[in-house]
């Protein structure tokens, strides 16, 4: 309903900025949190690049690692989209550098939202909290949870899993009337609003700049950032979304060889550096041992992980864009921003 106030945490991020854009277009009042007030102009520029006038956006300083600022951030809010979460280009040596802000930050937001009488919080989680540490022999669904015991799954996977688990536990134990819904995107692509790149888009840039001699013999899944944002808005207001998780994925997995070929076919000379040679698994694993930023690629080797967005489509009427369209949109913007070497 227009005029209602929505708090978006992490408004300077890829997903957060698009959530703000779509909320403004739908007539909501928007407030967003920043770790530093100096980033307000950055958020305004991101929103302006997508079309809406950013003038009405309210800004509040708040950090996931501190209590200060959160009561003011949620005051008077009808809904909260908790999008903010650390997602560095590579896993830190100490997993707690990601786990603590992700988990404790989610609990701070939920506690403040409950105390302020917020109706519903939509938490941005990830497929990382669903599809690792096990292979069910069928497409992954929202009923699945990443199993953290055993193999080294990396700090990001641990952080997203533990943060989402903690959020559901909090709401079930002491959330009172507060409702929670969760969105679990796979790798997010789509049009860029600025040069600050997400991890998934950074991977595309590395391919376009020929930073590796080949691609892993594995697959990834993709979804458009505009559709991830629209799923947040649906999960925010739909009466059947409370207490539910929603996978955000567009179509079937794409192999890295198919992805490389797609870039070459669609971008022509701009993608001339993209490697199409498929590397042996041992080489990818060895590279991951030497370079932490390549470690995630080793987790994508082997049989494809397949996930379904059937629940979001059936329950909320969500319809994602074509997978390839999302990937190519990011790649073309990387070229247009001058980030691809000639």
pLDDT digits (tens, 9 = 90+) for 73-100: 999 999 999 999 876 656 667 788 899 9
Q: What Å distances lie between residue 77 and 72, 80, 112, CA to CA?
A: 10, 7, 11
pLDDT at 151 over 90: no
**pLDDT greater at residue 97 or residue 61:** 61
Place of tokens 């796979």: 186
pLDDT at 114 over 90: yes
Backbone torsion region of residue 106, taken as left when φ is above 0, otherwise alpha when ψ lies between -120 and 50, otherwise beta: alpha
> In this predicted structure, what is the pLDDT of residue 42?
94
- Interval 227-270: pLDDT, tens: 999 999 999 999 999 999 999 999 999 999 999 999 999 999 99
Residue 99 burial by Cβ neighbours in a 10 Å radius (0-12, 13-18, 19+): buried
Fold of 5-257+289-336: Rossmann fold (3.40.50)
- Interval 36-47: pLDDT, tens: 888 899 999 999
- Which residues are catalytically annotated? 160
On whether the CB atoms of residues 208 and 270 are closer than 8 A, the answer is yes
pLDDT level of residue 211 (50, 70, 90 thresholds): confident
> In this predicted structure, what is the pLDDT of residue 214?
85
Cut 0.75: pTM above it:
yes
Q: Where are the domains of the chain?
A: 5-257+289-336
- Interval 302-336: pLDDT, tens: 677 899 999 999 999 999 999 999 999 999 999 99
Helices (H), the chain: 14-25, 40-50, 70-74, 96-116, 155-174, 199-208, 225-237, 256-267, 281-290, 295-298, 310-316, 323-336
Secondary element (H or E) of residue 9: strand 5-9
> In this predicted structure, what is the pLDDT of residue 294?
59
> In this predicted structure, what is the pLDDT of residue 305?
87
Q: What Å distances lie between residue 75 and 31, 70, 112, 175, 229, CA to CA?
A: 10, 8, 9, 17, 23
> In this predicted structure, what is the pLDDT of residue 2?
62
Q: What Å distances lie between residue 195 and 35, 85, 257, 338, CA to CA?
A: 19, 19, 26, 9
**pLDDT greater at residue 342 or residue 289:** 342
Give one DSSP letter per residue of 266-289, joined into a string: HHGGGGTT---PBPPHHHHHHHHH
- Interval 128-138: pLDDT, tens: 999 998 887 89
- Interval 274-297: pLDDT, tens: 999 988 867 767 666 555 555 666
Place of tokens 């003011």: 72
Residue 125 in tokens: 């989680």
């Amino acid at each position: 309903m227009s005029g209602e106030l929505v708090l978006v945490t992490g408004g300077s991020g890829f997903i957060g900025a698009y959530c703000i854009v779509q909320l403004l277009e739908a007539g909501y009042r928007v407030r967003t949190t920043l770790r530093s007030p100096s980033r307000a102009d950055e958020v305004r520029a991101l929103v302006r690049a997508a079309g809406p006038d950013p003038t009405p956006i309210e800004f509040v300083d708040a950090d996931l690692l501190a209590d200060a600022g959160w009561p003011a951030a949620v005051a008077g809010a009808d809904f909260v989209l908790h999008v903010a979460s650390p997602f560095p280009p590579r896993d830190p040596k100490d997993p707690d550098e990601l786990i603590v802000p992700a988990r404790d930050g989610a609990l701070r937001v939920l506690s403040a939202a409950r105390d302020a009488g917020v109706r519903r919080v939509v938490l941005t989680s990830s497929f990382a909290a669903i599809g690792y540490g096990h292979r069910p022999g069928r497409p992954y669904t929202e009923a699945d949870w990443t199993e953290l015991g055993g193999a080294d799954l990396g700090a990001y996977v641990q952080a997203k899993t533990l943060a989402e688990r903690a959020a559901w536990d909090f709401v079930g134990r002491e959330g009172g009337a507060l409702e929670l819904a969760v969105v679990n995107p796979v790798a997010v692509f789509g049009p860029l609003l600025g040069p600050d790149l997400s991890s998934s888009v950074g991977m595309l840039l590395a391919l376009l700049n020929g930073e590796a001699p080949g691609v892993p013999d594995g697959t990834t899944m993709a979804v458009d950032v505009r559709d991830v944002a629209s799923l947040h808005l649906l999960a925010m207001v739909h009466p059947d979304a409370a207490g539910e998780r929603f996978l955000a994925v567009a179509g079937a997995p794409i192999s890295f060889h198919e992805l490389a070929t797609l870039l070459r076919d669609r971008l022509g000379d701009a993608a001339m550096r993209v490697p199409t040679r498929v590397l042996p698994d041992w080489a990818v694993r060895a590279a991951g041992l030497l370079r932490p930023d390549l470690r995630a690629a080793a987790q994508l080797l082997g049989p494809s992980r397949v996930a379904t967005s059937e629940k979001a489509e059936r329950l909320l009427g969500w319809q994602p864009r074509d997978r390839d369209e999302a990937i190519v949109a990011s790649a073309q913007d990387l070229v247009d921003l001058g980030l691809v070497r000639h």
